[in-house]
Amino acid sequence: AQSVTQPDIHITVSEGASLELRCNYSYGATPYLFWYVQSPGQGLQLLLKYFSGDTLVQGIKGFEAEFKRSQSSFNLRKPSVHWSDAAEYFCAVGARGGSYIPTFGRGTSLIVHP
């Protein structure tokens, strides 16, 4: 079975600063990888996903993530954070075959200071 670790519960950045949210996974093969964002009072929205091919994936709202097989990581990045990016971010792993139920990390809460 797959698992996901988001080691940072909270991250605080200043508006305009760069951002990196960490995600590590455990799975026996190359998984499907997702990042979702949850704004206050909202459901989760997909930011980006990786299936295969180019390991640098571009998403919505200026986010990108890089799949690093050697480190079992799929970290989310943004070069310049906006106040509206304050939200909860979830990394998820989907298995290729077997269970079709994605596994979600515990989430990282992003706080943006003006």
**Residue ranges binding other proteins (CB under 8 A):** 9, 32, 34, 36, 41-46, 49, 51, 90, 94-107
Which CB atom, from 25 or from 34, has the smaller least distance to other proteins?
A: 34
Nearer to other proteins, 79 or 98 (CB): 98
Minimum CB separation of residue 95 from other proteins in Å reads 5
Of 13 and 44, CB closest to other proteins:
44
Least distance (Å) from other proteins to the CB of residue 88? 9
DSSP collapsed to 3 states, the chain: CCEEECCCCEEEEECCCCEEECCEEECCCCCEEEEEEECCCCCEEEEEEECCCCCEEECHHHCEEEEEHHHCEEEEEECCCCHHHCEEEEEEEECCCCCCCCEECCCEEEEEEC
Shortest Å, Cβ 78 to other proteins: 20
